[in-house]
Amino acid sequence: MATSLLDRALGFLAKTLSRHKAWHRWPFPIALAMILGHRENLRRNNLTDMQSAPPAVPAAPAANDKSFRSADGSHNDLKQPWMGMAGARFGRNMPIENVYGEGPDTLLTPNPRLVSNALMARQAFIPVPHLNVLAAGWIQFMVHDWLSHGPNNKDHTPITVPLPDGDDWPDPIMSLLPTDPDRSQPEADIGRPTAYTNVETSWWDASQIYGSSLERQLLMRTNPQSGEIEPTGKLYMQPEGSLPVEVKSKSDGTQQRQELTGVNGNWWIGLSVLHRIFAQEHNAIVDRLRIDYPDAKGEWLFQKARLVNAALLAKIHTVEWTPALMNSPEGRMAMRGNYWGVMGETFGRAFGRVGEGEILSGIPGSSTSHHTAPYAMTEEFAASYRLHSLIPDSFTFKKHNTGEALLTCSLQQVSGEAVLAIHDKISFDDVMHSLATSNPGALVLHNYPDGLRRLDKDGRFMDLAAVDILRDRERGVPRYCLFRQLIGAHVPKTFADLTDDADWQRQLEEIYGTVDKVDLLVGTLAESRSALHGTPVGFGFSDTAFRIFILMASRRLKSDRFYTDDFTPEVYTPAGFAWVAENSLRTVMSRHCPALQPYFANARSMFFPWKASQP
């Protein structure tokens, strides 16, 4: 009860003080308390269940298998076994009355392609000097674990986007298929907003590595030469330690070779290197477990190693990646506090948890709670993670030990099947070091990658910036001002309130007319230059996105029994539990890229630039 009263007090504090100025304009102790208060308010007001009726669920696991994650994410919550499984619906962070998709009168207003050309197009690459490209690869590595809307609706008329006057688009029209809605519960859905299903599991369960179905999971474990599942519990790797290769059919009827993983859509070199080292990490965990359990069967070793590997990924994201993107005292403390609590890592490792709450000792090991709605990824969370501007348009690969330039490639030349060609030409260590010594792009206007604004998808071109805008409108994600209002944040009344940049104010007004029509993505990129309510100093993304992140980043841990009630040595094994506690991205890199240790030894974060060799 005391914790509940504390949470409510923090929520009241945040709401009251926000009327005067944003949380990041207050001194550190007050700012931190306001972050916790905002999270509490969002938990109470910004979780909406879109599941009209529970979907069909596979049979319950045997009693001795309840300490394993299911392949499809079912039975994480044993009382509501459908929760978070592949095929369940996306939830919402907005009241249900505010999430109806936009109709034909506003869906294309202003024209998404015009927004892309005038406000998004990269004029000159704007880097983030304190980050490396691994930070960009990492977030896509995580997002592929959490969400995907799957194939679009081929039964519906494509959405046609008119081309602005003078547009140099290579096709005569720009069109895309609508998102495929969930039609499984028509009677229960009458009068409700359209809902969409997540084809991946919603849990933080490393489904990007292991897949979201038993069929895909077994494929990751199968030796393609023998056709047999690896009896050791390991993921199959090629003899030289690289990922296996699958042949995929393309929409134009041709085939392409691509590295095999649980999720390998939108593949590029940044995903490739991270998938490889964490597939190797799974196998290293199996080797460690076999020491203590020499008679264990391969299935048991696989499932326990998966638990450990997924938890390590969650830890790295929480205490390493997110603080690197939120490079301020408040941001670092908030995210590390999510994991370790305000008592901190040193206290926790020395003395263990203090009580079952999350504020003192963090979420892992606290009691499970779904707060006000069943757990699910949300459409607003997906919209807030539109971070494509992090991606550079060109990549230069160099020898890690001499700095000699080896190859310069466009984004398209490091994507899809071309990734295999990169690995054929350049050593894995050189690829990894090259990414770790290059900068990603800043999340601001006029910095969206050209390669993604004219993306060749099997002979059909796509402007992903225009698609990002259109998908939010189609799926009922509120526009920027309403979005801010519904999460309890300051709402700009003029373009000058949104951004201090006079040129941006003029450009935004020319496109939108009034500030209330600004799209969510455009608003989050524009607020990077607002002195009063915009992006906090040191943050790589906007305050608006941060509000959703503090809600959903906590929720990914707090709702998952494998990070709460079942985050124990008994479930993980003592060796596995210790592996999570003792390891980090630095130790993972040291284990699988030992030659690169001198180059990241002095980096404060593995997502900050490593030492570069000079030619």
DSSP 177: P
Give 91's strand partners. 378
400 classed as catalytic: no
Q: Please state, in angstroms and rounded to a whole number, the distance separating the CA atoms of residues 145 and 547.
A: 21
Residue 540: closest CA among 390, 391, 438, 437: 390
Q: What CA–CA distance (Å, rounded) separates 386 from 403?
A: 33
Closest C-alpha to 76, from 568, 598, 562: 562
Q: Please identify which residue in the block is written with the tokens 């978070």.
A: 84
d(CA 134, CA 437): 9
Helical (H) or strand (E) element with 397: strand 394-398
Spatial distance between the Cα atoms of 474 and 468, rounded to a whole number of angstroms: 10
Catalytic residue among 144, 282, 388, 533: 144
Burial of 298 (0-12, 13-18, 19+ CB in 10 A): middle
Compute CA 600 distance to the chain's CA centroid, rounded to the nearest angstrom: 24
Among the listed residues 267, 102, 98, 89, the one whose alpha carbon sits nearest the alpha carbon of residue 180 = 89
Tokens at 80, concatenated: 């509501």
Torsion angle of alpha carbons 150, 562, 324, 350, nearest 10°?
-170
Of 392, 519, 540, 415, the C-alpha closest to 467 is 519
- What number of other Cβ atoms are within 10 A of residue 333's Cβ? 19
Task: Give 184's contacts (C-beta < 8 A, 6+ positions apart).
Answer: 55
d(CA 586, CA 127): 24
Residue pair 207/201 in contact (Cβ under 8 Å)? The answer is yes
The tokens describing 534, both together, are: 């915009």
In sequence order, what E strands does 401-496 have? 405-410, 455-457, 460-462
- Please list the active-site residues: 144
